Chains A and B, each alone.
Chain A
């Protein structure tokens, strides 16, 4: 496999794994939040914020993936030099 291919897989993992983790965390928080809202509807703001908290993982994953993708040009240049 070429270096560019490996970089693409690395970028996919960098965004994919945190996305799964975020989805799992949001599902847990979402269901608990829905339960809390049934009891106390005034908590809606807090629940929205709580649901948004795990998004940190996927957002950072996205940025890292983008940085990794930026490496492809460097690798292509190196491959060209070699």
Chain B
């Protein structure tokens, strides 16, 4: 659900401004509005809070220090030991008591200690990369160079040409003969499938003209670094190899030294990063405040449940000299209200959907619960397999365990792994419903055939002709097209329920926002869908009600199109008809599910082909194919479930928020 927000105005004595600023930042719950963008008749006498030059200077110095500190932090690898939050807080508090000069001298010390090491490391890495680039080129040219006898009056240039353009060499030789009066020679050879190397030997006296000519013709000349340029190619190759072999050892020494520094300093650097960030944030917030005479004013939003505690805190700390008032927001202000989400732990992971679309608009219903209900159902319906479900749950558990051990915290991975864990449970449950364990592996191992399935079905489906459904559903559908059709109807029913739920949310939002036309549009769509259900339901299902069902259904569809056209215009009428396509789109659930089952069975059948001493090979083949199927089975249902949620469901009601709740708070410290 969306957190209820209170619009607030805080007014206080200017002399207390920086204390209040610090208190609000420590409280960490006020989403500050930029008052300079809010100036209206209400704030006619209010001007933006000025930042005096000394503060500007301080901010600029803090930004410079933060940049230098972060640059060092970026270059150091985190220590292997887990970093505890309390250690960072301890350092943060120590820095908080220091003056700007002390902090500056601290950053200077840090830089002095790591600067030379970092420079040396960067140079070695750059050299290694440069040598790696030259080595294959020189390797290609060196054998060719051995064919040339060098004299002191002659020099040479190496060229690399794509093999398909090698005919250009004849033209180059002809032109160079003209330039050098015949005192040149071109030796060439194919060095690999795509490249021809050539060495042009000519009198030193014509060096400038030859280089000019080659530059004009845009020929790829091999240019070695100056320290290698004058050496013969075989010597250059030896030199490159020697230096390349030396660099990793040198780099290791430097990395060890840097790791030693990181071990001692990493926590300090993080604490300093947080402190500098917090101080910069404090100073950056100043221009968002307003002032008038002896008072300052700030407006913003606070979660409603924290309003009283914040008011009390300000009143107690500043003895009534700072006042927090709740205001009634106008409709325009509500449009710009910041959005924060607060969901139960089981639903919270599905907030990942807001990484793909913005958060829901303030005042609307939060649809996270809809995603939490339908995402696992859609995913499980597609992948449904006990074996794959266990693999997914096991894989997620393993990833979480590794991340926890490393102390890595990532919101994305937290949400993603939680969603996959729930999807894994759903996959297992659907697997039980389908009786699938790595496809038909159970059947293969126990030697069951469709006779066994029919026997189980016969005992679970009740009397023939009275109860069509039984267990295991999908196994039976494989041998009975009628059951297959029924499953397709179930898939459509899931679509109807999903879209209906989305339209009901849209209808509630419209009623809440008093948008009559929007409400009628959504009601029109709902009537159209349930008209369709009435028509097809009585045609195929409750046949005794076929006649009245058809009449009522057609009437509902007709009224639905009229309602949708009235509420949404011409496009609304068309959209109502297109909803049928939205429902059909859910057929993908069974399409993808079936593809996954068939691939799993292919894996089992292929594996079973290997007999005798080749059984281990069969097991490897089956495991590889099942792994591929599982990978596809995770990727495809995830994307398709997301698509059904975002395209088929969210388009029916969803409006994105303009502003996300970003409270003015400290990064570090408490």
Contact = CB atoms under 8 A, between A and B. Distances in A.
Contacts of B356: 45-46, 49
B484 A49 contact: no
Interface stretch (A4-12, A23-31, A32-40, A57-65): A57-65
B585 interface: yes
A36 B413 CA distance: 25
B547 interface: no
A41 interface: no
B54 interface: no
A60 B584 contact: yes
A45 to B, nearest CB: 4
A52 B639 contact: yes
B595 A53 contact: no
Contact of B646 (A49, A59, A60, A62): A49
A48 interface: yes
B481 A63 contact: no
Q: Which of B640, B643, B647 has the most CB of A within 10 A?
A: B643
Given A46-B356, A66-B594, A73-B481, A60 B588 contact: yes
Given A49-B356, A49-B647, A63-B488, A55 B640 contact: yes
B346 to A, nearest CB: 23
Contacts of A46: 356
Which of B584, B591, B643, B647 has the most CB atoms of chain A within a 10 A radius of its CB?
B591
Contacts of B642: 48-49, 52
A48 B635 CA distance: 11
Task: Tell me if B's interface is mostly helix, strand, loop or mixed.
Answer: helix
B588 A56 contact: yes
B647 A60 contact: no
B355 interface: yes
Q: Which of B485, B588, B595, B642 has the most CB of A within 10 A?
A: B588
Nearest to B587: A63
Contacts of A3: none
Contact of A48 (B588, B594, B639, B647): B639
A34 B331 CA distance: 40
A62 B484 contact: no
A25 B51 CA distance: 55
B302 to A, nearest CB: 29
Contacts of A67: 481, 484-485
B592 interface: yes
B643 A60 contact: no
B206 interface: no
B590 interface: yes
Nearest to B592: A59
Nearest to B595: A62
Nearest to B638: A48
A42 to B, nearest CB: 9
B481 A53 contact: no
A67 B488 CA distance: 10
A41 B587 CA distance: 32
Contact of A59 (B355, B488, B591): B591
Contacts of A73: 481
Interface string B455-491: 0000000000000000000000000010011001000
B639 A62 contact: no
Interface in B170-208: none
B643 A49 contact: yes
A60 B642 CA distance: 18
A52 B590 CA distance: 16
Interface of B: 355-356, 481, 484-485, 488, 584-585, 587-588, 590-592, 594-595, 639-640, 642-643, 646-647
Given A49-B643, A66-B594, 20 more contacts: A45-B355, A49-B356, A49-B646, A49-B647, A52-B643, A53-B643, A53-B647, A55-B588, A56-B588, A59-B587, A60-B588, A60-B591, A62-B591, A63-B587, A63-B591, A66-B484, A67-B484, A67-B485, A70-B481, A73-B481
**Among all A-B residue pairs, the 10 with the closest Cβ atoms:** A45-B356, A70-B481, A59-B588, A59-B591, A62-B591, A52-B639, A52-B643, A63-B591, A63-B587, A49-B643
20 contacts: A45-B356, A46-B356, A48-B639, A49-B647, A52-B640, A52-B642, A55-B643, A56-B585, A56-B588, A59-B592, A60-B584, A60-B587, A60-B588, A60-B591, A62-B591, A63-B590, A66-B484, A66-B591, A67-B484, A70-B481
